[in-house]
């Protein structure tokens, strides 16, 4: 069974290992020693070529005792910023840093939880499926570890990502997100001597923004214009403006329609061109993360709900508006959901870990794996 005191001490140890994005090696080496002592087979992939991290993603295989298909458990190694001076302190029912700052709950709570679950399974000798543990790098800077993970090293077709707040609220759906850039070219001219010869790119972009929606478009979709750059001097009619933003949606058709609307408005305001072909614009977009959705009634959710009931917990299946490694796992055929670990106020100086939720999440994962040995999810 889960040992709360041991779990707490494990987190306190991990919290003091500095592991910002691209500098996860020390933490990864600590995990190798930990899991090899527990009988795990550890391997690093070659994602460093793409992520530029000092370590690859760490994959650990724990042999099963039930002859059932493997289950993936995942957490990310990196923190949003360095934590060299972290001093975690326990205050009754939570853990926070001694001074304002990150304590590493995102996502060292997920890592500690996985370690404790493996230890508890070993000690109890209860039948459990083979485990494939994935500890990704560079999650905080664009999900790079999961994006460039060597998926050929994995057999699991379903699993759990430990990287959210409340363990009672299971994330089963997250949007697709795209980042876009619009470059509009007007015509430069002296603003005092001959402004008539110019085409003010800033004014043209402003006209486009007035016509376009922004913010929450509907319950499934958001649009944000986040960066704008243009102009060289107050006495020059600005020739060029670059506008950057992002679209997120749980409906891929709506996302595509909104992108077409944006381009259509820019095409309209640059329709009347001079001999030099100005004004004109070019549009680019790139994916930030893909959409995923585990539908109601899916066997994975049924098994997780059953595990929750075994510990007196009624789970809520909810959607998120952010991206995580789970989005990328789904793209590669691994059906998974995101579980909370008790972390709160992440990415802020007030970050802390709620111990009751931390322990509850560990018990939930443990019971889930025990049930998975009895009720294997075949064919996923």
Instruction: Report the alpha-carbon distance of residue 9 to residue 23 in Å, rounded.
Output: 23
Alpha carbons 131 and 41: distance in angstroms, whole number = 11
pLDDT at residue 112 is higher than 60: yes
The predicted pLDDT at position 81 comes to 92
Average pLDDT of the segment spanning 351-373: 98
pLDDT in tens, 288-344: 999 999 999 999 999 999 999 999 999 999 999 999 999 999 999 999 999 999 999
- Would the CATH topology of 4-174+291-374 be identical to that of 176-289? no
Active site annotation includes 155: no
CATH of the domain spanning 176-289, picked from 3.30.70.2860, 3.40.50.720, 3.30.70.360, 3.40.50.620: 3.30.70.360
> What is the CATH architecture of 4-174+291-374?
3-Layer(aba) Sandwich (3.40)
Q: Where are the domains of the chain?
A: 4-174+291-374, 176-289
What DSSP character marks residue 115?
H
pLDDT band for position 379 (50/70/90)?
very low
Q: Does 139 qualify as catalytic in the annotation?
A: yes
Using one digit for the tens of pLDDT, what is the confidence trace for 144-179?
999 999 999 999 999 999 999 999 999 999 999 999
- Decide: 2 and 359 in contact? Cβ < 8 Å: yes
Catalytic residue among 10, 24, 45, 139: 139
Using CA atoms, how far apart are residues 380 and 376, in angstroms rounded to an integer?
10
Q: For residue 232, give both structure tokens.
A: 């060289």
Pick the catalytic residue from 10, 24, 45, 78. Answer: 78
Average pLDDT, stretch 7-27?
Answer: 98
> CB-based contacts of 170: which residues, under 8 Å, 6+ apart?
301, 304, 315, 316, 317, 318, 337, 338, 339, 340
Q: How would you class 219 by CB atoms within 10 Å of its CB: exposed for 0-12, middle for 13-18, buried for 19 or more?
A: exposed
């Amino acid at each position: 069974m889960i040992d709360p005191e041991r779990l707490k001490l494990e987190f306190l140890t991990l919290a003091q290992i500095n592991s910002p994005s691209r500098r996860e090696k020390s933490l990864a080496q600590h995990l190798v020693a930990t899991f090899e002592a527990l009988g795990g087979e550890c391997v690093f992939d070659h994602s460093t070529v793409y992520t530029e991290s000092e370590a690859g993603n760490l994959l650990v295989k724990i042999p099963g005792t039930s002859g059932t298909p493997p289950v993936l458990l995942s957490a990310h190694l990196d923190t949003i910023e360095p934590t060299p001076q972290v001093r975690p302190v326990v205050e009754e029912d939570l853990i926070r840093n001694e001074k304002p700052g990150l304590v590493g709950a995102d996502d060292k709570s997920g890592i500690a939880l996985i370690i404790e679950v493996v230890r508890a399974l070993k000690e109890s000798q209860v039948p459990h499926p083979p485990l494939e543990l994935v500890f990704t790098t560079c999650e905080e800077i664009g999900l790079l570890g999961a994006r460039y993970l060597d998926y050929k090293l994995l057999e699991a077709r379903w699993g759990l990502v430990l990287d959210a707040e409340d363990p009672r609220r299971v994330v089963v759906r997250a949007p697709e997100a795209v980042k876009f850039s619009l470059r509009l070219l007007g015509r430069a001219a002296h603003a005092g001597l001959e402004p008539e010869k110019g085409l003010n790119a800033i004014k043209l972009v402003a006209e486009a923004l007035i016509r376009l929606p922004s913010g929450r478009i509907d319950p499934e979709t958001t649009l944000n214009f986040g960066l704008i750059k243009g102009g060289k001097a107050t006495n020059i009619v600005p020739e060029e403006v670059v506008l950057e933003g992002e679209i997120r949606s749980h409906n891929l058709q709506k996302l595509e329609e909104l992108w077409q609307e944006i381009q259509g408005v820019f095409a309209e305001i640059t329709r009347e061109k001079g001999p030099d072909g100005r004004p004109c614009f070019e549009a680019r977009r790139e994916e930030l993360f893909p959409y995923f959705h585990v539908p109601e009634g899916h066997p994975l959710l049924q098994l997780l709900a059953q595990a929750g009931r075994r510990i007196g917990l009624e789970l809520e299946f909810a959607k998120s508006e952010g991206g995580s490694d789970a989005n990328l796992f789904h793209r590669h055929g691994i059906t998974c959901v995101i579980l909370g670990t008790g972390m709160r106020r992440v990415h802020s100086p007030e970050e802390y870990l709620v111990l009751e939720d931390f322990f509850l999440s560990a018990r939930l994962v443990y019971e889930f794996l025990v049930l998975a040995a009895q009720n294997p999810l075949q064919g996923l």
